[in-house]
Amino acid sequence: MRKAYYMYSVRIMTMVRYMTEYVTVTERGMTTIPARLKRKYGIKSGMKLEVVEEEKGILFVPIPKLEDLFGVDGDLALEMIKELKMEKRKEIERDKAKLQLRL
C-alpha cells in the first residue's frame, strides 16, 4: 500500500507548486516539521513516516494507522496489515539484536 500511496504523492507533486519551507538538522539528524505541514498532512507525535530516497532529495510519506483505514477496500487493507506486521517483526528482531549486543 505504501508504494501506491507514494505514487499518488508524486502525482500530486508534479501538478502543484508548493511553498518552500526550511528546516535545520540537529547533530543527531533530527528536524522539526513545520506546523503548517503537520496540520495539512495530519502528522501527529509518535506517527510513523516512510523515508523515501529520491533523485532530488528525501520524501517523508505518512503511514496511516489501522483505524484510519476504516472503509478501505478489504484486499488493500489486508495488504497493509501484512506490511505492518512484517515491519513490526523486523523492529522486534532489531531490538532483540541490540539487547544481545549489550549482554
pLDDT tens for each residue of 64-75: 776 666 666 667
Determine the average pLDDT of the residues in 21-45.
89
- The number of domains in the chain is 2
* Predicted local confidence at residue 16, as pLDDT: 54
69 and 36 part of one domain: no
Mean pLDDT of the chain: 77
* Predicted local confidence at residue 42, as pLDDT: 85
Q: What is the pTM of this model?
A: 0.48
56 and 68 part of one domain: no
36 and 18 part of one domain: yes
Lowest-confidence pick of 48-57, 62-71, 93-102:
62-71
Distance between CA 61 and CA 77 in Å, rounded?
18
79 and 48 part of one domain: no
**Can you give the three-state secondary structure of the chain, one letter per residue?**
CHHHHHHHHHHHHHHCCCCCCCCCCCCCCCCCCCHHHHHHHCCCCCCCEEEEECCCCEEEEECCCHHHHCCCCHHHHHHHHHHHHHHHHHHHHHHHHHHHHHC
Nearest to 4 by CA among 76, 90, 70: 76
Please give the residue range of the domain that contains residue 92: 64-103
* Predicted local confidence at residue 12, as pLDDT: 45
